[in-house]
Amino acid sequence: MTAPASAPARFGTGELVKVRVGTPSTHFRTPEYIQGKTGIVVALYGSFRNPESLGHGGDGLPMQPLYRVEFEQKQLWDNYKGPEKDKLLVDIYDNWLYPATT
C-alpha cells in the first residue's frame, strides 16, 4: 500500500514562521488569535489529512504536515499577567505558515 500523498514539510524545528491571516467561510482549525503572529517551530508531528477538506466530505488529500509552533505569551497579549518566559503552543498545518524574517 502506498502512503497517501502529502505536501512536503517546508519548515524544520527552530525555524521562525508566521501564521497566515484568513477566515475562510469553510471549516478551518487555525485560531484567529495567533493569525499574523510569529512563532518558532518546535516539533513536526508528521502529516495528517487536511481538516479543511475532511470537514466538507473530502478525502483530506494531499495531507498537510503538522507542526507544534511556540509563541511568546507577551507577544500575543498586551496585558499578559506572567513572566516573559511563558509560552503558548499551538498545532498548525503547513498551509497556514510562511517563513518569517526577524
Partner 1 sequence: MSADHGDDIDHGHPHPGMEGDDELGYYARRAQAIESLMIEKGILTSQEIQGMLDSIERRSPTDGARVVAHAWFNEEYKARLLDDPESALKELGYELPETTPKLTVVENTDAVHHMVVCTLCSCYPRMLLGRPPDWYKSLAYRSRAVVDPRGIMQEFGLNLEEEVEVRVLDSTADMRFLVVPRRPASTEDLTEEELASLVTRDSMIGVTDALSPQPAAIAD
Which CB, 54 or 100, lies closer to partner 1?
54
Q: How far apart are CA 98 and CA 91, in angstroms?
A: 15
What residues between 53 and 92 interact with partner 1 by CB under 8 A? 66, 68, 73, 76-77, 80-83, 85-92
Which CB, 33 or 98, lies closer to partner 1?
33
Binding mask 18-57 for partner 1 (x = CB under 8 A): -----------xxx-x-----------x--xx-x------
Q: How far apart are CA 84 and CA 69, in angstroms?
A: 17
Q: How far apart are CA 54 and CA 59, in angstroms?
A: 6
What's the min distance (Å) between Cβ of 69 and partner 1?
10
Q: 26-55: b or e for each residue (b if 16 or more CB lie within 10 Å)?
A: eebebeeebeebbbbbeeeeebebbbbbee
Torsion from C-alpha of 57, 65, 71, 23, nearest 10 degrees? -30
What's the min distance (Å) between Cβ of 19 and partner 1?
11
Give residues in contact with partner 1 (CB under 8 A): 29-31, 33, 45, 48-49, 51, 66, 68, 73, 76-77, 80-83, 85-93
